[in-house]
Amino acid sequence: MALLELTDVTRSVRLPDDRILSILKGVTLSVDAGEHVAVIGRSGTGKSTLLNILGLLDSPTSGEYVLDGTPIGRLSGRTRARRRGDDFGFVFQQFNLLTGRTALENVAAPLMYARGRSFWRRFTLAAEMLDRVGLGDRLETMPDKLSGGEQQRVAIARALVRRPRVILADEPTGALDVETGGEVMTLLDEIASESGAALIAITHDLAVAARAQRHYRLADGVLLPIVLNAPGQVTEWLGDLPVSTPAAPRHAEQADA
């Protein structure tokens, strides 16, 4: 059984002039535990809407979303919020760190809503996760005193401190230089592999997408599988998409993905 599965999911909104804008059009996607999937596309193609639906921040207009065997449409708002906090970790391009709070306090923040030992041990767990991302000596540092790469590492630690089953990364390297971005994606890959979490990266960058096991293109609300190691196909759909040169897959098995 897939960890999460979308079937013919659509998302549309009504505009002020009563026209209907279709954002997602019949999206079907299945992701297993421990799998790394990349969705690539230009701005305005519906990538963030897809991520919001996957992360239970938004609901489909039609179609079905099944999470670990449970149709999401049957859950109450309160249960959805609990599943979102328990099962998902979000990594955003802009970091979204709390100003005036130390790195430790930022990472511990999601555990304020935890139960039992996780709540009482929140600062210990946060310190352990910051050490895991290489910031064990920066616990009391404010975000504005951290470099961009360090801020993103704090954001990753915050996303993973509750040990989510699904990591959703929205343009996770968009605000970073190429070298730092590569280090951040390597870190995400390693932690996801260690915990068996599914990693879904929403990106416009082929270098980020190339690290995944499976790749999709989202254009005009339609999600289609692509093969990044087929240059002719990439050239056909790439168009004016701004990307960097894709990195070679890190594992031999990814070359056949």
Q: Report CA torsion sign: 2, 113, 92, 154.
A: negative
pLDDT digits (tens, 9 = 90+) for 170-206: 888 877 888 888 888 888 888 888 888 999 999 888 8
Q: Which two tokens stand for residue 168?
A: 């959703």
Q: What pLDDT score was predicted for residue 231?
A: 45
Strand 88-92 and strand 4-14: the pairing is: unpaired
More confident residue, 142 or 206: 142
Tell me: pLDDT of 227 over 90: no
Query: How far is residue 22's CA from residue 10's CA, in Å, rounded to a whole number?
Result: 8
More confident residue, 45 or 56: 56
Looking at every residue in the chain, the average pLDDT score rounds to 85
pLDDT digits (tens, 9 = 90+) for 101-135: 999 999 999 888 777 888 888 999 999 999 988 89
Residues 16 and 80: beta-carbon distance below 8 Å: no
Q: How confident is the model at residue 224 (pLDDT cuts 50, 70, 90)?
A: very high
Tell me: pLDDT of 225 over 90: yes
Name the 3-class secondary structure at 203: strand
pTM, entire model: 0.83
pLDDT digits (tens, 9 = 90+) for 55-64: 999 999 999 9
CA proximity to 9, closest of 58, 43, 42: 58
Query: How far is residue 131's CA from residue 165's CA, in Å, rounded to a whole number?
Result: 21
Tell me: pLDDT of 25 over 60: yes
How many other CB atoms sit within 10 Å of the CB of residue 14?
9
Q: What pLDDT score was predicted for residue 253?
A: 38
Section 4-16 average pLDDT:
95
Percent of the chain with pLDDT over 70: 89
Q: Which two tokens stand for residue 249?
A: 């897959």
CA proximity to 3, closest of 90, 104, 83, 102: 83
Q: What pLDDT score was predicted for residue 169?
A: 92
Domains of the chain: 4-256 (3.40.50.300)
Range scoring the smallest mean pLDDT among 14-18, 51-55, 70-74, 250-254: 250-254
CA atoms within 13 A on the CB side of 158: 27
Query: How far is residue 221's CA from residue 22's CA, in Å, rounded to a whole number?
Result: 7
- DSSP string over 74-129: GS-HHHHHHHHHHHEEEEETT--PPTTS-HHHHHHGGGGG--THHHHTHHHHHHHH
CA atoms within 13 A on the CB side of 216: 22
Going across the sheet that includes 88-92, the strands are: 88-92, 166-170, 198-203, 36-40, 214-219, 222-226
CA proximity to 205, closest of 178, 232, 225: 178
Tell me: pLDDT of 149 over 90: no
Q: What pLDDT score was predicted for residue 4?
A: 95
> Where do we find the tokens 């079905």?
64
Residue 56 gets the label, from left (phi > 0), alpha (psi -120 to 50) or beta, of: left
CA proximity to 218, closest of 8, 92, 43: 43
Q: What pLDDT score was predicted for residue 182?
A: 85
